[in-house]
Structure 1
Amino acid sequence: MKIVFMGTPDFAAVSLQSVIEAGHQVGLVVTQPDKARDRGKKVQLTPVKELAIAHDIPVLQPERIKNSPETLETIKAYGPDIIIVAAYGQIIPKTLLELPPLGCINVHASLLPKLRGAAPIQRAILDGETETGITIMQMNEGLDTGDMLAKAITPIGQMNYEQLHDKLAILGGELLAEVLPWIKARQLAAASQDEEEATYAPRIMKQDGKIDFNKSAEEIERQIRAFDPWPGAFCSYMGKTMKIWQARVLESQGQDVPGKVLSVSDEGVDIACGSGILRVLQIQMPGKKRVSVKDFLRGNHIEENCILE
C-alpha cells in the first residue's frame, strides 16, 4: 500500500519501523517541528523524523497542519491508499480524514472506549487499571471516537510509565503490521465504541506530580509509577522539593497524620498516608541524582516525625 505516516515520539517510531519492515511503501512522513531541548538548547529531530531520514523517506513538518495548504497538497499529490497516525500531536483536519480510499487509522495506547485522549498510558496506571493495551481505530472527527478495528491487551502489573510505554509501543507496532493486510483487503470488521463506557485521559501537567498524602498509599504509589520519568511525583521536605521514584505499600492497622515520617532506615522511609503507609525506596533531591534511600542516608539525614507536604 501507499502510506502516509503521521507521528512524532518514540512510541510512533516503533509503529513506523513495523510498517517499513512489513514492506509497505511509506512515501511521506508528517511529524511535529523540531524543537530545542535540554540546557544547551540544541535542536533535536523527532524520533519519527530520524527514522524517516534513515530510510530516505521525505518528511513534512508543518507548525499547524490544518493551516498548511502546502502540506495538504503534497499529501494529496502523493495519493496515499491509507494514512496511519500514531501520537502525532495535532488534530487531523477533515480534508485529510476523507482523502485516502482506506481512510485514516490511529494506533491508540488504550483499550477504547476507555481512556480517550492525550495521556492514556499514565492514566491507566493512575486509575488502577489491571490491564491496558492498543486499539487500532478508524479515525473520524471526534476525539478517539472512531470505530475499532483491532485490539491487543497487556497486564500492567507494577510497571511504571516508561516500562508500560515501551511495552505498548512494541505491541502497537506488531498489531499494526498484523492488521494492515486485512485492511487492504477490506476484510476487517469494524466495531463501534460504546459511549456509555467512554472515559478520558487528559494531558498531564507538571503540577499533577504533587503528592497529596491525604490520599491512600495505593493511590500515591500508582502516582509515582505513572509519572516516571515525567513530571515525577514530588513533595516538600524541609522547604526543598523531594522527588519520590520508587515506593511500596505497607499494610497498616493504625492511623497517623498524613505526610508524617514514621521511621527512617536503610529499608526505606515510612510515611503515613490518608490510609496505609508508603515505604519510600528511591528519592531525588534538587541538583542530585536518583538514589536509594540506603545510599542517601550514608551522607544525609531525614528527620523522623516531620511532616512532608
Structure 2
Amino acid sequence: MRVVFMGTPSFSVPSLRHLAAAHEVALVLTRPDAVRSRGKKLEPSPVKTAALELGLPVVEAKRMTPEVLEALRAAKADVFCVAAYGCILPDEVLTMAPLGCVNVHASLLPRWRGAAPIQRSILAGDECTGVSIMRIGHGVDTGAYCAQASCTVAGKTADELTCELGELGGKLLTDTLPAIADGSATWIEQDESLVTHAPKIEKAELMLDPAATVVDNARRILASSDAAPARCVVCGKALRVLAAAPAGGVTAPAAGRFAKTGKRVLLGCADGALELVSVKPDGKRAMDASAWAAGLREADGLWEKLS
C-alpha cells in the first residue's frame, strides 16, 4: 500500500517505522524544525529524524499551503496516516487519498478527546488507557473508530506511557490498514454520552499542593514533563520533583510541613506523606532527594505550592 504519513513528536515515530516496514511510504509530513529543548537551538522533530534515517522524503509544514497540497497530490497515496501531526487538515486533504485519512489517537475513544489524553488519563487515575484508529473529521477527535488496543496506566510516567502507546498504536495501525483497504473494517461511531475532553495541560495544574492528597500529588509528578513540570517550594527553595511515592511506615508530617527522617524526605499532604525520590533544584542538576536534603540545615519546616 502507498502511504503518506503525517506526524511530529516521539509518539508518532513507531507508527512511521511500522508503516515503513510494511508499506511504501511515499512522503512524510512533519512540523518544521523548532526549539525543542533548553539549548535554544533549532532541532528537527522526532519524526523528521526517523524519516531521514529511513531514507524517506520529508516535507516540513505547519499549514497546508498550495505547495504542500501539490506535494500531497504528487505522492499518489492510497491512504494518509496521521499520528499527532499538530496541524488542522482541510477537507481537500481529508478526501485526497482514496482510503481517506486515518489517525492514531492515544486514548480509548470517546474518552479523552483532545491534545493531552495521556496526561489526563494519569491525572484522573484511569486503570487503563489505549489507542484508537479513527477517521479524521471536522471536530476534535470526533470521528468513528475501527480498532482499539489498551494498556494499564498505574505507576507509569507520561514519558513511559507515551512510549508504550506509541508502539501499541504503530502496530495497531499497520495491522488494521488491510481491513480498511478491503472494506472489511467495522467503523464505530462514538457515544457522545461517554465523551471526556483532554485539553492541553497548563503548568499550574501540575504544581504540588499541601492541601491535595498524596495520590493527587503523586499523579501530578507522573504526568509532568519538561513543558509542564511538577514543582513546589521546600524550605524556601524551589525545585522540580522528578519522582516520588506515597510514604509508608512513618509518621507523616502535618500538611504543609516537610521532614527529614534518616535519608528519607517527606512532604506532609492532606491525608499523609509523600516521599521524595528524585528532584531537580532550580539551576542545578537532577539528584537523589536524600542527597539534596543533606544540604538543608533544617530537619523540618514548611513546604508550599509554587505561586
TM range (shorter): over 0.9
Would you say 1:280 and 2:302 are equivalent positions? no
Q: Does structure 1 retain, via aligned residues, the 8 Å contact 2:15–2:170?
A: yes
What is residue 304 of structure 1 aligned with on the other side? 300
SS in structure 1 opposite 2:232? strand
Q: Calculate the TM-score normalised by the size of structure 2.
A: 0.92
Counterpart check, 1:115 vs 2:115? no
In the TM superposition, residue 253 of structure 1 has moved relative to its aligned partner by 11
- Is 1:2–1:26's contact at 8 Å kept on the other side of the alignment? yes
Greater shift in the superposed pair: 167-176 or 38-47? 38-47
The within-5 A match list for 1:13-32 is 13-22=13-22, 24-32=23-31
**Residue-by-residue CA offset, 1:172-230 (whole Å, 9 max, x unaligned):** 11111211111111111111111111111111233333122211111110000110454
Matched, 1:2 2:2: yes
The Cα of 1:37 is off from its aligned counterpart by: 4.1
Root mean square deviation, CA, Å = 2.1
Query: What's the CA shift for 1:40?
Result: 4.3
In the other structure, the counterpart of 1:141 is 138
* Distance across 2 between alignment mates of 1:129 and 1:185: 35
Q: Secondary structure at the match of 1:305?
A: strand
Q: Secondary structure of the residue that 2:302 maps to in structure 1?
A: coil
Q: Are the counterparts in 1 of residues 28 and 56 from structure 2 also a CA contact under 8 Å?
A: yes
Deviations 1:136-158 (A, max 9, x none): 11111110011111011101121
Whole-Å separation in 2 of the counterparts to 1:145 and 1:221: 31
Contact 1:161 1:229 in 2 (8 A): no
Partner of 1:43: 42
Cα deviation for residue 290 of structure 1 reads 1.9
Note the C-alpha offset of 1:303: 4.2
Give the structure-1-normalised TM-score: 0.92
Higher mean C-alpha deviation, range 245-254 or range 183-192: 245-254
Which of the residues 264, 267, 271 maps onto 1:271?
267
Corresponding residue number in structure 2 for 1:212:
209
Aligned CA distance change for structure 1 residues 41 and 187 (closer, same or farther; 3 Å): same
For the Cα contact (< 8 Å) 2:235–2:301, is it kept in 1?
no
Instruction: Name the amino acid aligned to 1:248.
Output: A
Give the Å deviation of 1:79.
2.3
Please give the secondary structure, in 1, of the residue aligned with 2:73: helix
3-state SS of 2:140 partner: coil
Match of 2:12 in 1: 12
- Aligned partners of 1:223 and 1:240: how far apart in 2? 19
1:255 Cα deviation (Å)?
A: 8.9
1:104 matched to which residue of 2?
101
Q: Which runs of 5+ in 1 are unaligned?
A: none
AA in 2 matched with 1:297: A
**Counterpart-to-counterpart distance in 1, 2:222 and 2:109:** 22
Q: How does 1:212-251 map to 2 (within 5 A)?
A: 212-250=209-247
Instruction: State how far apart, in whole Å, the 1-side matches of 2:156 and 2:57 are.
Output: 36
2:176 match:
179
- Give 3-state SS (helix, strand or coil) of 2:102's partner: strand
SS, match of residue 12 in structure 1: helix
Q: Distance in 2 between matches of 1:248 and 1:118?
A: 27
2:57 aligns with 58
Give how far 1:236 is off: 1.6
Structure 1 runs (4+) deviating above 6 angstroms are: 251-256
3-state SS of 2:134 partner: strand
Change (3 A) 1:283 1:18: same
Supply the AA of the counterpart residue of 2:26: G
Equivalent pair of 1:160/1:228 in contact (CA under 8 Å): no
Please name the residue that 1:199 is paired with. Answer: 196
